[in-house]
Amino acid sequence: MTNNESVADEKSPPDVPAPQASGPQIEVASDEDWKNRVKAEDAALDQRFRSQPAGAGGTAEAVPTDEPAGSAASRKSDPPESQAAREMPQPTFGDLVGLLSAQAMMFLGLIPNPATQKAETQLPTARYFIDMISILEEKTAGQLTKEESHILDDTLHSLRMTYMQRSKQTA
């Protein structure tokens, strides 16, 4: 469509006037090129991460790519979240228990809520996270290493005792 063309529907009856242009018309065109560029960049990133060993530390310059020379600067200016995501350690069972435990401790009022920076006690929610850890204990019975089992037992015991103390305080 050009600036001089009208936007009339070709199937509209002849007695219906076409809308009049009050100013320059804007032409909307689909740009498939940016989609192809995004797909190519995504594929290059995917290939780069697949070709790195697990403990490589995520340095982007370690693996050559077919990217244009100007994109190296954009790679260095990645947001901190994407750089940190590449450097995350391998997750462990202890990490999972710790994650759920931290949530339970927050709702037991032992650590402050990061959103409010205040310690808040919400016993039903704390109980939910303690029960989630109990499910892990139940479903992984006999499949854990001695260390993992010890982490799980100690965590559950500590959280349950704290829960009992907090529930007595609020009663």
How far apart, in whole angstroms, are the C-alpha atoms of residue 58 and residue 74? 16
| Residue 59 pLDDT exceeds 50 | no
Rg (CA), the chain: 29
CA 65 to chain centre: 26
pLDDT in tens, 67-119: 444 444 445 555 666 666 678 889 999 999 999 999 999 999 999 999 999 99
DSSP 8-state symbol, 92: -
pLDDT at 87: 84
| Residue 130 pLDDT exceeds 90 | yes
| Residue 149 pLDDT exceeds 80 | yes
- Residue 45 vs residue 8, higher pLDDT: 45
pTM (2 d.p.)? 0.51
Q: Count CB atoms within 10 A of the CB of residue 99.
A: 12
Mean pLDDT of the chain: 76
